[in-house]
Structure 1
Amino acid sequence: MEQHQLIDLLKQMTLDEKVGQLLQLAAEFYSEKAEEKTGPMTDLGLTHEDINNAGTTLGISGAKEAIRVQKAYMENNRLGIPTMLMADIIHGFRTIFPIPLGLGSSWDLEAAKKMAEVSAKEAAVSGLHVTFSPMVDLVRDPRWGRVMESTGEDPFLNSRFAEAFVRGYQGEDLKNDFLRVAACVKHFAAYGAAIGGRDYNTVNMSERQLRDSYLPGYKAALDAGAKLVMTSFNTVDGIPATGNKWLFRDVLRKEFGFEGVVISDWGAVIELIPHGVAEDKRQAAELAINAGVDIEMMTTCYTENLKALIDENIVDEAILDEAVLRILTLKNDLGLFENPHRGADVTLEKEVVLSNEHREIAKDVARKSIVLLKNENILPLSKQEKVAIVGPAADSHDVIGVWSWQGKKEEAITLVQGIKQLKVEYMAGKEVFDYFNPSQAAINEAVSLAKEADKVVLALGEEDWMSGEASSRSDIRLPQAQLDLFKAIQAVNENIIVTLYNGRPLDLQGIDSAKAIVEAWFPGTEGGAALADILYGEYNPSGRLSMSFPETVGQVPVYYNGENTGRPYKPGDEKYVSKYLDVSNFAKYPFGFGLSYSNCLYTDLQLSTNELQSGDVLTVSVTLENQSDVAGQETVQLYIRDQIGEVVRPIKELKGFEKVNLLANEQKTVQFTITEELLRYVHSDQTCRSDAGMFDVMIGPNSRDVVTSTFKLLK
């Protein structure tokens, strides 16, 4: 359908029909069973006409149901406008991949893109059109449960992953490629900066910080072509995002040039009332529509009030028309007017969803996401060793994470099952082991097995509900029962390898004396098999943290790219500097950190010139040497520091990275290019530009361990 045809269609719509396009309802409203939709209808005060006109649908599952709902919807819609089916497909549809924080730790953009491609394919054949992903919120506080949905604490890395996700979901030709889905970037804006790491809490930051650190990820996703943006629950400069006209009209629309659809998060429009900026649903509707929110998810402020607001000339009908046209345009971009059922295919669904091919891809991505945090020459395990596999996560299927809508735990591979696939001898308990309150029999069995073993793999972690939305924690240590279990095992066998399933960086006090620590995150459907491959050396770990681990929760937020103070801290300094009395300022395991079974040395940092002129290019190179007999993959990281800025600059900022394969004992030279554009930042007047002067350039395997040189930018 051409644009002029969409405009003609808009002109044919009644005011009620136009308002209806702005309503999103959940799947139960389209159930065939009357009792399943009568209750929700009553709760929201909806009529059958409201449901027939609602423009988009949330959470339909399966090709057969999607086809049925679309057919019934179009029969009841006067103009035959199709509905648009959306869902939370965060890190996999039925084949579940590592949580996004794990994907971020892969530092592998192709792996992230492949995850999105597989997710889109499974979702599309199951009848869906839109995914509420990627979440690109910058995160610095692991107390916030939703850090699991982000790719980490760095604007540059988040931006690159945002691009990869969008391109994987949407492909090159969304209208004609029915195995793709439209991407919705979220949550606009700065949701990850909730004070105290408490979900839905206030955000308070300067506009300069918002622009410099938090907006780049969203902008990158939009530049990659993301079709939708979701509002965040938090305030931005004291105004809730969902009613923030400056944020959506000025920044998103005018500055970023975004022409797509803005959708509220679940219930966010009506939440303008408890926020205290709207007196009632009528005022909430007025604020949200004027701010530029096109779709209201699962509340009825628009449905109940927009018509009257327009009739009374409080809201301009032209604003409503703009929103409706954006929604119709998205439906057209998806090809729904020509193909209302789009990719929904019952036969193909059976072939594609959770296929062996997709499971293999998920396993490969999971292996790339696992981070080896510590290894005192105890890993990899030998197939000849007597190994005990114990702990609550040893044979647990709870490996897919809480945001795996269609994923099924029973289809996931446990660690014990993964080790069994390797055909090695191992010892594992038979008692069911609770994460919080294990039976004495389970504890006794674990200790008994540890006594017999050469080495012990102690599988610990969070249960899935402990991270994700509405799952903030003030204490991010492992449950006390697991710390007690560690002590009991260590008393009989010191050769402990701790494996962790979790959705956030943890305070590892209580288990940090383990000989090895392996961070597996929630690794997805093939997680146990991927972790087994890491433990037994079938795969050389290559994951690097995309979010720092604190020494203690009392340091939080602790992140690598903080700003210097007037009294900067160095270890050994006296009291009157910016530091704690009882712990260092630094992370236990910093951003970019991760070990492997190889040993890479960085030497001979070279700059092509010591002075960079605007318009020219400076080349920086470093020599890598694999000083081991094990081939591996090294993630080479480039950091830069602006020594003197118009405003205080971070002590270092990631500006590039490259994954390099090294054979045993091989040397390679890696090069990066630096341009003046790479050195720009947001100044106090909100403009983005660079400053002439001296810069440090640093290259290393993580944000802490770097080799350094300097150059001067000339203007």
Structure 2
Amino acid sequence: MKPLSIFLLSLLFGASSVWAQQKRTNSSPDQKMNAFISSLMSKMTLDEKIGQLNLLTGGEATTGSVVSTDVERKIKSGQVGGMFSFTTPQKIRKAQEIAVKQSRLKIPIIFGQDVIHGYKTTFPIPLALSSTWNMAMIEKTARVAAIEASADGLNWTFSPMVDISRDPRWGRISEGSGEDTYLGSQIARAMVKGYQGDDLSRYNTIMACVKHFALYGAAEAGRDYNTTDMSLDRMYNEYLPPYKAALDAGAGSIMTSFNDINGVPATANKWLMTDLLRKEWGFKGFVVTDYTAVNELIDHGLGDLQKVSALSLNAGVDMDMVGEGFLTTLKKSVAQGKVKQQRIDEACRLILEAKYKLGLFEDPFRYCNEERAKTEILKPEHLQFAREVAAESFVLLKNENHTLPLKKTGTIALIGPLANTGSNMPGTWSVNSDLVNTRSLLEGLQAYVGQDAKILHSLGANLISDAAYQERATMFGRNIPRDNRPEAEVIGEAVALAKTADVVIAALGESSEMSGEASSRTDLEIPDVQKRLLQALLKTGKPLVLVLFTGRPLALKWEDEHVPAILNVWFGGTETANAIPDVLFGAINPSGKLTATFPQNVGQVPLYYAHKNTGRPLAEGKWFTKFRSNYLDVSNDPLYPFGYGLSYTSFTYGHLKLDKTSFKPGETITISIEVKNTGTMTGKEVVQLYIRDLEGSATRPVKELKNFQKISLKPGEAKTVSFKITEDDLKFYNSALKFVAEPGDFNVFVGGNSRDVTTGKFTLIK
């Protein structure tokens, strides 16, 4: 029996209940829209219908090596349904005019772009954004991005990326929301709502595209585009929910992933695209491939271009990005009986429905308003908001002896390859950012301290000792000039500078393109030469703060043991250089919390908090016990756990209180705890609630995040934080893929991170 047949048979058992308890109720069809599209399609030739399934790039390739050609002729011929990489209203208007004035049926084009974490006003990379744990703030970043992108003529974004990832070797962990299913689902909803608003036809909303469907974040070895192999238990309980949450929030489109799933690549996987997505989840939007994903099925070993194009369409894909396999082969496949015209009609209708919902048939140019482009992009209030978001995303990892906040006096030495590079501040996947005029950290510090303090600067070290590696790590205009003098001379110069200062700020870590797509790493430590620089700076005995730039969890065991203060600033977007001084000097108290576990070393990867126990678990507090699940050379513990982040103030948690110790379906239990600010500064704390199912029909994780609240407390202020637990909070997919809550005992944990918690216990009775 073929693997896919086994896979499908496994779904038949209890198939009627798969996702049934989470299925949304769809509204009745829009009769006016259906009548309009039916009338239009009755006039379309087969070639014109296939043309609607063709998505081309109008500019330089952003995620692949292929660039579309002869675009204008294809638009006139009705062979283009959508375009991306046009980024001005003038260019978009010109292309749209060709479509609606020179093509036979005058069907408008949908215009997309990779608006990933902001548009011109760039916000922190998504992994950093998730570290705010602030859903209202995250939704507003998407709203601002929609306002700016739509002002430039765009109406479709290839975002949010909701892939769960537990392997920091994978570069695209920077583009998602980390390792947790619950938090990832909350963020997915917020992003879709921010982009699409309540009315997709409004001129300042854009259609969301959820990606990458599915399981892309679990690529083997953390190597991009690689194979994914996963059990149904893990798939349904841990990786699929964020996609479902985004679609339930109303996302209009979804993008296929590059990886295979149970031996069948996602772009040709009918179980994934039709059985699960359409039939079980009831998705009514359209499916677009990732960049040339149809063509790449050839290298997967599924056949020639005609065959893989037919496989993809028949699987449930509606639009082909850039590869043009649909455009060049589907008509032939229809003639040969390999594709039914009905399937082409279905895909064409979905594309036309999206355009109708965006209001493009009513006004093809509603997103091409040059006045809006002049007044609504990079507005001062957008930039101020971006500065606030960046500061709230920073995570204070260590602050020994209250090294931070700094005083705005004396002499400050700013040293490191990330100190004077504005182009790296926006982070990966900031294709619309102004890299030339973005401030560097040096410029931001100088502007912030003014005449109150003296800023000294030295490169200190190259980004990476290997020049070829550094070139790969600084692509797309993110160059960091190299100093080709001997390493000892460059470091020595920085050390001499540091000795004249009162405090040292070391700006170290990754460049922005060391994470992101096709930027996988096997070494998760700070690059070699930077670590040698840091060691030399510490030997001066000067107070030192490591300002860490990174797009992924790094292995910082040595740094944690030796550096007095570590502030992880990720890549904070357009306003990074202004936000960092806000936090360094205490104008803003850091409140970010990690959404991905930091390992002690790469050998622990994948490492995540919601793991399952083995039959031979290591006893709590132990490092090593023979014949237990552990390592010889390092403990099982992470360096920094999920949910971790320090503050300039301190918080204490009281006793956990439950209003009852047992409850039945339909009832609730209220969990409450007092949190007090016992420090001297106003601060924000993310109060996190976790649950463990102690006995079930299937193995369950040792902890699962089920709720959280971000609160602000003044010095000495206390607040009682309450959570209500219902039966739904206890549900999971069992081995029959039924979504159930099983009776029994549960532990509940509340704390400031997944490790440091107060524990209680309750029982679900049935």
TM-score range, shorter chain: over 0.9
Measure how far apart 1:417 and its partner are.
2.2
1:98 aligns with 2:147: no
Quick check: 438-447 or 107-116, which moved more?
A: 438-447
- Output the amino acid matched with 2:388: D
Superposition pairs of residues 558-597 of structure 1, within 5 angstroms: 558-570=607-619, 571-572=621-622, 573-597=624-648
Equivalent position SS for 2:636: coil
**Alpha-carbon distance in structure 2 between the residues aligned to 1:618 and 1:692:** 14
**Alpha-carbon distance in structure 2 between the residues aligned to 1:405 and 1:29:** 11
Deviation string, structure 1 residues 150-195 (Cα, Å, up to 9, x no partner): 01100000000000100000111111x2111000000000000001
Measure how far apart 1:657 and its partner are.
0.3
**Alpha-carbon distance in structure 2 between the residues aligned to 1:506 and 1:280:** 41
Measure how far apart 1:387 and its partner are.
2.4
**Alpha-carbon distance in structure 2 between the residues aligned to 1:360 and 1:40:** 38
Measure how far apart 1:272 and its partner are.
1.3
Q: Is residue 270–residue 284 contact of structure 1 (8 Å, CA) maintained in 2?
A: yes
Q: Which residue of 2 aligns with 1:297?
A: 321
Counterpart of 1:609 (choices 660, 679, 688) is 660
Counterpart of 1:404 (choices 430, 446, 454) is 430
**Alpha-carbon distance in structure 2 between the residues aligned to 1:121 and 1:41:** 30
Say if 1:39 and 1:417 are closer, same or farther in 2 by CA, change over 3 A.
Answer: closer
Provide TM-score, normalisation by structure 1. Answer: 0.96
**Alpha-carbon distance in structure 1 between the residues aligned to 2:237 and 2:176:** 18
Equivalent position SS for 2:294: coil
Say if 1:28 and 1:279 are closer, same or farther in 2 by CA, change over 3 A.
Answer: same
- Output the amino acid matched with 1:534: V
Q: Which residue of 2 aligns with 1:379?
A: 404
Say if 1:132 and 1:174 are closer, same or farther in 2 by CA, change over 3 A.
Answer: same
**Alpha-carbon distance in structure 1 between the residues aligned to 2:643 and 2:142:** 23
Q: Which residue of 2 aligns with 1:200?
A: 225
Q: Is residue 29–residue 51 contact of structure 1 (8 Å, CA) maintained in 2?
A: no
Measure how far apart 1:414 and its partner are.
2.1
Q: Which residue of 2 aligns with 1:22?
A: 53
- Output the amino acid matched with 1:591: F
**Alpha-carbon distance in structure 2 between the residues aligned to 1:655 and 1:432:** 45
**Alpha-carbon distance in structure 1 between the residues aligned to 2:263 and 2:101:** 45
Q: Which residue of 2 aligns with 1:33?
A: none
- Matched residues, percent identical? 44
Quick check: 293-302 or 401-410, which moved more?
A: 401-410
Measure how far apart 1:28 and its partner are.
4.2
**Alpha-carbon distance in structure 1 between the residues aligned to 2:121 and 2:713:** 31
**Alpha-carbon distance in structure 2 between the residues aligned to 1:431 and 1:256:** 53
1:478 aligns with 2:504: no
1:458 aligns with 2:506: yes
Deviation string, structure 1 residues 36-70 (Cα, Å, up to 9, x no partner): xx99538x9x9747864211111111111111110
Equivalent position SS for 2:436: helix
Q: Which residue of 2 aligns with 1:637?
A: 688
Equivalent position SS for 2:641: coil
- Output the amino acid matched with 2:563: A
Q: Which residue of 2 aligns with 1:505?
A: 553
Counterpart of 2:171 (choices 130, 142, 145) is 145
1:9 aligns with 2:57: no
**Alpha-carbon distance in structure 2 between the residues aligned to 1:589 and 1:319:** 50
Superposition pairs of residues 470-549 of structure 1, within 5 angstroms: 470-512=518-560, 513-549=562-598
Q: Which residue of 1 aligns with 2:330?
A: 306
1:352 aligns with 2:401: no
Q: Which residue of 2 aligns with 1:66?
A: 92
1:269 aligns with 2:294: yes
Provide TM-score, normalisation by structure 2. Answer: 0.90
**Alpha-carbon distance in structure 1 between the residues aligned to 2:108 and 2:717:** 58
**Alpha-carbon distance in structure 2 between the residues aligned to 1:29 and 1:530:** 32
Measure how far apart 1:385 and its partner are.
4.6
Q: Which residue of 1 aligns with 2:707?
A: 656
Q: Is residue 60–residue 67 contact of structure 2 (8 Å, CA) maintained in 1?
A: no
Deviation string, structure 1 residues 492-533 (Cα, Å, up to 9, x no partner): 125211011111111114423100111100111100111111
Measure how far apart 1:449 and its partner are.
2.2
Q: Is residue 525–residue 555 contact of structure 2 (8 Å, CA) maintained in 1?
A: yes
**Alpha-carbon distance in structure 2 between the residues aligned to 1:49 and 1:630:** 60
Q: Is residue 427–residue 449 contact of structure 1 (8 Å, CA) maintained in 2?
A: no
Q: Which residue of 1 aligns with 2:480?
A: none
Quick check: 451-460 or 383-392, which moved more?
A: 383-392
Measure how far apart 1:383 and its partner are.
1.8
Q: Which residue of 1 aligns with 2:7?
A: none
Say if 1:144 and 1:406 are closer, same or farther in 2 by CA, change over 3 A.
Answer: same
Measure how far apart 1:420 and its partner are.
2.3
Q: Is residue 160–residue 208 contact of structure 2 (8 Å, CA) maintained in 1?
A: yes
**Alpha-carbon distance in structure 2 between the residues aligned to 1:171 and 1:442:** 52
Say if 1:50 and 1:244 are closer, same or farther in 2 by CA, change over 3 A.
Answer: farther
Q: Which residue of 2 aligns with 1:680?
A: 731
- Output the amino acid matched with 2:279: K
Equivalent position SS for 1:221: helix
Measure how far apart 1:322 and its partner are.
0.6
**Alpha-carbon distance in structure 1 between the residues aligned to 2:371 and 2:117:** 24
Q: Which residue of 1 aligns with 2:445?
A: 419
Equivalent position SS for 2:383: helix
- Output the amino acid matched with 1:553: V
Superposition pairs of residues 240-255 of structure 1, within 5 angstroms: 240-255=265-280
Q: Is residue 131–residue 592 contact of structure 2 (8 Å, CA) maintained in 1?
A: yes
1:448 aligns with 2:496: yes
Counterpart of 1:161 (choices 187, 199, 205) is 187
Ranges in structure 2 where 5+ consecutive residues have no aligned partner: 1-31, 466-482
Q: Is residue 100–residue 150 contact of structure 1 (8 Å, CA) maintained in 2?
A: yes
**Alpha-carbon distance in structure 1 between the residues aligned to 2:428 and 2:683:** 32
Say if 1:108 and 1:49 are closer, same or farther in 2 by CA, change over 3 A.
Answer: closer
Say if 1:142 and 1:29 are closer, same or farther in 2 by CA, change over 3 A.
Answer: closer
- Output the amino acid matched with 2:615: G
Measure how far apart 1:434 and its partner are.
3.1
1:237 aligns with 2:262: yes
Say if 1:315 and 1:116 are closer, same or farther in 2 by CA, change over 3 A.
Answer: same
Q: Is residue 20–residue 50 contact of structure 1 (8 Å, CA) maintained in 2?
A: no
Q: Is residue 82–residue 340 contact of structure 1 (8 Å, CA) maintained in 2?
A: yes
- Output the amino acid matched with 1:481: V
Equivalent position SS for 1:284: helix
Equivalent position SS for 2:692: strand
Measure how far apart 1:413 and its partner are.
2.5
Superposition pairs of residues 195-234 of structure 1, within 5 angstroms: 195-234=220-259
Say if 1:20 and 1:567 are closer, same or farther in 2 by CA, change over 3 A.
Answer: same
**Alpha-carbon distance in structure 1 between the residues aligned to 2:67 and 2:159:** 30
Q: Which residue of 1 aligns with 2:472?
A: none
Ranges in structure 1 where 5+ consecutive residues have no aligned partner: 31-37
1:320 aligns with 2:351: no
1:364 aligns with 2:388: yes
